Amino acid sequence: MPRAFASDWRDRCRSDRPDPFPMHALKRVERPTTRIEDALVQRKDERESGFNRAGRGDLGERLQREFTRFVPKHPLSGALVTMTGVLGHFVDARAGSSEDPSARAGGMPPLRPAAEHKAPGTEDPAAMARHIKETAYFLRADAVGICELPPYAVYTHGKLDGQPIDLAHKYAIGILVDQDWRTASGFNGHDWISNAMSFVSYSNSAFIACVLAEYIRRLGYPARAHHARNYQVAVPPILLWAGLGEMCRIGDIVLHPFLGPRFKAAVVTTDLPISIDKPIDFGLQDFCTKCKKCAKACPSKAIPDGGKETYNGYERWCADAERCTGMRVGNQNGSGCGTCVKVCPWSKPFTPFHRAVNWTMRNIPAARRLAIWGDDLLGYDKPNPDAKWWLDLEEVDGKLQVPGKSGKRD
Ligand code: SF4
Ligand code: SF4
C-alpha cells in the first residue's frame, strides 16, 4: 500500500503530466459501474428538465415567479448568468449551432465553419487526444475526458427554440471546472453564494468549450460547444463513458474521484478522429451505499436513502427532481442549493492529507465507514466562517438589501 501511494504521489509530482489529478492511476473498466441497458435508454427532451418545467409553471405559480429571479437575485450569480447567456447567444445568434456558423452577429467576427483543408499533423487519434486535453488544460479546465458520443445522450429537442435536434458527431469531449473548494468550505450549502458557485463553473466551462470547438473547426473538423443555456446533449452519460466519474446517490449526477460533485461541465462534440478513454471504477457504488450523507442533509429530502432503481435503462439512485428544483428555485434564505456538494466526503482540496484519505477510500473498502465517520467528526459538513468572503445580498424590487435570514438553515 505505501508503495502504491508513493507511486501515485511521484506521478503527481512529475511536471510532464497535463492533468491536475492522477486520473491515469484509476482502475479503468469496459463499461460504467452503473448498469445501463443501452437499447432501453430513451433520448430526453430538454424542455422537460426541472428548471424548464418550473419556468413554464408546471410546478406552481410561486416557482414560476421565482424562476425569473432565483439566479439574478444575488448580484454575483446575476453577473455570471448574464455573461453565460451572452456566450450562448453569441453562438446561437450566428447559426443556432456553432458547427457551421456563417453570419455576423453584434459586429463580431463570424465564428468559423470547419476549415476546408485539414491541418497537417492531425491524423493520429492518440496524439490528438493528448493534444486536445492539453489544450483544454491550457484553457484552465480541471478535468477532461473523451468518449464516443452515445446516441441516447443527444436531446430530442432544444429548450431555446423547441426544434428537433439532429447531432451526428462521433466523439464527445467532457470538460469539468471546479466550483472552488475554499468557497465550498465557507458556505452552508444553500446560502447566498450557492448559485454563483454553479455559474462560475458554468461560465468558465462554457468559455473553454467554445474556444476548443472553434479551434477544432479551424483545424478542419466539425465541432460544436455544448454549455449552460446552450446544450444539445445530456452531460451525465458523456462524463460516465469518458471516465470522468461514477454515478452517485445524488441521482442524475456524476461524481469525480478528486472533485466529488463540486463541478459543472461543458462538452464539445466533434468528428475529429481522437482516441477515447474508458470508464472508471473507484468504488463509489459501494461508498454511496454506505455513506448517505447527502440524503440526510438534503433540505428538500430529494435524495433517496434506500437502494437503486431502474429508470430509463439506468440502474441508479433516483432523486426527486421536482423537490430538488423546488429547493433550488424557491429557496427563500439563499440563492440556489448545493448542500449535497457541501457534505459529500469526496469534495475535498487536493492536499497531501486529503490525497491520502482519498487513496484509502478508493482502494480499501473496509476503511470506507471509518472515512465517513472521520468526515463527520472533523465537521466538513459545517460552514467555516473564516472562509466566507462574499456579501449576503438580495435584489428585491430592483434594490439590493441584506436578506433577513442570511445563511440560515430552514
Ligand atoms: S441541490 Fe439541494 S435540494 Fe437538490 S439534491 Fe442537492 S441538496 Fe437536495
Ligand atoms: S454524500 Fe455520500 S452518498 Fe452522497 S454522493 Fe457523496 S459519497 Fe455518495
Centroid of ligand 1 to alpha carbon of 340 (angstroms): 6
> Residue 149 pLDDT more than 80?
yes
User: What percent of the chain has a predicted confidence (pLDDT) above 70?
Assistant: 89
Q: What is the mean pLDDT of residues 213-220?
A: 96
3-state secondary structure of 194: helix
Grid-cell match 479551424, residue found:
218
> Residue 110 pLDDT more than 80?
no
How far apart are the C-alpha atoms of 281 and 370, rounded to whole Å? 20
Q: pLDDT by residue (tens digit) across 44-67? A: 999 999 999 999 999 999 999 999
Lowest mean pLDDT among 4-8, 16-20, 166-170, 272-276: 4-8
Neighbours of 88 (CB within 10 A): 19
> Residue 99 pLDDT more than 60?
no
Nearest to 53 by CA among 324, 407, 380, 354: 324
CB 228 near ligand 1, within 6 Å: no
Grid cell listed for 333: 434564505
CB 197 near ligand 1, within 6 Å: no
CB 343 near ligand 2, within 6 Å: yes
Whose CA is closest to atom 7 on ligand 2?
288
∠ CA 101-79-409, rounded to 5°: 130
Q: Closest ligand to 322 CA?
A: 1
> Residue 174 pLDDT more than 50?
yes
Q: Closest ligand to 368 CA?
A: 2
pLDDT of residue 109: 60
Q: What confidence category does residue 97 fall into, taking pLDDT thresholds of 50, 70 and 90?
A: very low
> Residue 74 pLDDT more than 80?
yes
Q: What is the mean pLDDT of residues 20-33?
A: 95
> Residue 85 pLDDT more than 80?
no
Whose CA is closest to atom 4 on ligand 1?
324
CB 288 near ligand 2, within 6 Å: yes
pLDDT of residue 90: 59
Q: Which value, to the nearest 10 degrees, does the dihedral of the CA atoms of residues 327, 332, 334, 335 take?
A: 60
Residue from 33, 34, 247, 250 whose mutation best tests the ligand 2 pocket (most atoms within 8 A of CB): 250
> Residue 6 pLDDT more than 80?
no
How far apart are the C-alpha atoms of 143 and 120, rounded to whole Å? 27
pTM of the model: 0.92
Q: pLDDT by residue (tens digit) across 294-350? A: 999 999 999 999 999 999 999 999 999 999 999 999 999 999 999 999 999 999 999
pLDDT of residue 408: 52
Asked if 35 and 41 touch (Cβ cutoff 8 Å), the reply is no
Grid-cell match 442549493, residue found:
337
Residue 57 CA, distance from chain mean position: 26
Nearest to 236 by CA among 209, 263, 212, 258: 263
The ligand 1 atom at the shortest distance from the C-alpha of residue 250 is 5
